[in-house]
């Protein structure tokens, strides 16, 4: 089956004006937001970037070429992770196969983000939920960090660069009337290889007996 390649979203979004500053790449914007997070200069707001996305013609093309929304995504995740229902053992594979039929190739050079440690199952299942909204990635990382011990708050942000022509996925079309509209997610459903290329501690500071640290991991996906 022939598939099309989505246009490069980053080339349309950047340079990006944010908080009266101009950023030439998603990496630059992410680092600025992470710095502000540690210094408590601003409260990270995913909605501002979402507005920029929804006003972008390329992002509209991304979400308008998919029929899948968050509801189906949640059900896919539940099916694919189930291990106890022996009667429906074929359902996850069948569900995945149907979704893959509607995927497109992600563009070379596209940057995607996700929060927290890489799930151990990702390299086996070739399935990963990411976002094109760096603010969303930081908020997700903050929510995960709150589950850690009281004297440690570690934000883990992962940045993926698409480096291969065979990475399959699609943007999830969210209901604009719910908070999920701020997720700006991209579901990756197939890839050949995922490689960690850099791991960087952005900053370590101590305030009010709470250790804050940010770990930025960079991956290449092909």
Task: Say what the pLDDT of residue 206 is.
Answer: 43
% of the chain beyond a pLDDT of 90: 48
Task: Say what the pLDDT of residue 12 is.
Answer: 96
Average pLDDT score over residue span 25-34:
92
Task: Say what the pLDDT of residue 90 is.
Answer: 59
* 105-142 tens-digit pLDDT: 999 999 999 999 998 889 988 989 999 999 999 999 98
d(CA 55, CA 65): 16
* 54-108 tens-digit pLDDT: 999 999 999 887 766 454 555 555 555 555 555 455 556 777 777 787 789 999 9
């Amino acid at each position: 089956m022939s598939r099309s390649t989505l246009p490069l979203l980053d080339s349309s979004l950047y340079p990006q004006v944010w908080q009266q500053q101009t950023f030439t790449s998603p990496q630059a914007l992410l680092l600025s937001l992470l710095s502000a997070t540690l210094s408590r200069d601003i409260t990270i707001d995913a909605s501002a970037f979402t507005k920029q996305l929804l006003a972008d013609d390329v992002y509209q093309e991304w979400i308008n070429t998919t029929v899948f929304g968050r509801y189906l995504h949640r059900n896919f995740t539940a099916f694919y992770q189930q291990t106890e229902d022996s009667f429906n053992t074929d359902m996850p594979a069948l569900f995945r196969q149907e979704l893959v039929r509607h995927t497109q190739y992600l563009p070379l050079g596209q940057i995607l983000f996700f929060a927290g440690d890489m799930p151990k199952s990702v390299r086996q299942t070739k399935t990963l939920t990411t976002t094109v909204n760096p603010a969303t990635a930081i908020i997700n990382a903050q929510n995960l960090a709150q589950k850690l011990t009281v004297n440690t708050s570690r934000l883990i942000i992962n940045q993926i660069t698409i480096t291969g022509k065979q990475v399959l996925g699609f943007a999830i079309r969210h209901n604009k009337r719910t908070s999920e509209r701020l997720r700006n997610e991209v579901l990756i459903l197939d890839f050949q290889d995922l490689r960690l290329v850099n791991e960087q501690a952005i900053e370590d500071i101590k305030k009010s007996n709470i250790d804050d640290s940010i770990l930025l991991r960079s991956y290449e996906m092909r």
